[in-house]
Amino acid sequence: MKTLVLVFHPNITESNGNRYLSQEIKKYPNVTVHDVYAAYPDGKVDIKTEQQLIEEHDRIIFQFPFYWYSAPALLKKWLEEVITHGWAFGTNGDKMQGKEFLPAVTTGVDQEGYTHEGLVKFNVSELLRPLEATTNFVGAHYLTPFVVHGIGHQSDEQLTEKAKEYVSYALNPKLIAA
Ligand SMILES: Cc1cc2nc3c(=O)[nH]c(=O)nc-3n(C[C@H](O)[C@H](O)[C@H](O)COP(=O)(O)O)c2cc1C
């Protein structure tokens, strides 16, 4: 199984959570970590490069910090531009079919906030429904999201531990669809 980690963080060098996660997972074989913001500082996504990366991998991880209960803007742009007619859907558009899509999300708000009774009133899985629906639309398999809540309250030791949990979860070939 080949795994592609698409990291959508506007400034990974100033990140805590996402930096720990991507630095840990990139140590493993058959893993490609692709920092999409760093690849396209002008925001112009190279569609062919991105489509080729998808075609070469089996499991695609969408890793990002939660920004206003969604992903940073470049992920939306990436979805709009890379998922094209004739490639991902429509006539002969089958290139995402059978791939596994796994969201990996960090949040500033603690886990208790992401409950129906809490501050946010929704949990992360509910807020990720558009990505889940997109996964369904292109015939990919949606895997249960990996979430690290309350990044600001995590010590370096805890983040190191979370990064190890991330790897054992995200690289488990037997992960089943959500
Ligand atoms: C523009 C912006 C919007 C944010 N929106 C949310 C949000 O909606 N929910 C949340 O829990 N945290 C939010 N945060 C906090 C980030 O999710 C948090 O700082 C990030 O997950 C930490 O990861 P990092 O250390 O890799 O940057 C936001 C941060 C920024 C800069």
Q: Tell me the C-alpha distance between 60 and 121, whole Å.
A: 28
Per residue of the chain (178 residues), give pLDDT as tens.
999 999 999 999 999 999 999 999 999 999 999 999 999 999 999 999 999 999 999 999 999 999 999 999 999 999 999 999 999 999 999 999 999 999 999 999 999 999 999 999 999 999 999 999 999 999 999 999 999 999 999 999 999 999 999 999 999 999 877 7
Read out DSSP for 23-72?
A: HHHTTSTTEEEEEHHHH-TTS---HHHHHHHHHH-SEEEEEEE-BTTB--
In the chain, the domains with their CATH numbers are 3-170 (3.40.50.360)
Q: How far is the CA of 68 from the centre of ligand 1 (A)?
A: 8
Dist CA 35 CA 22 (whole Å): 9
| Residue whose tokens read 């309350």 | 150
> What is the distance between the alpha carbons of residues 36 and 41, in angstroms, rounded to a whole number?
9
Q: Is 5 helix (H, G, I), strand (E, B) or coil?
A: strand
Check if the beta carbon of residue 15 is closer than 8 Å to that of residue 9. yes
Q: How far is the CA of 18 from the centre of ligand 1 (A)?
A: 11
**Six token digits for residue 57:** 């991998």
Q: How far is the CA of 8 from the centre of ligand 1 (A)?
A: 12
Q: Check if 65 has its Cβ closer than 6 Å to any atom of ligand 1.
A: yes
Q: Is the pTM of this model over 0.75?
A: yes
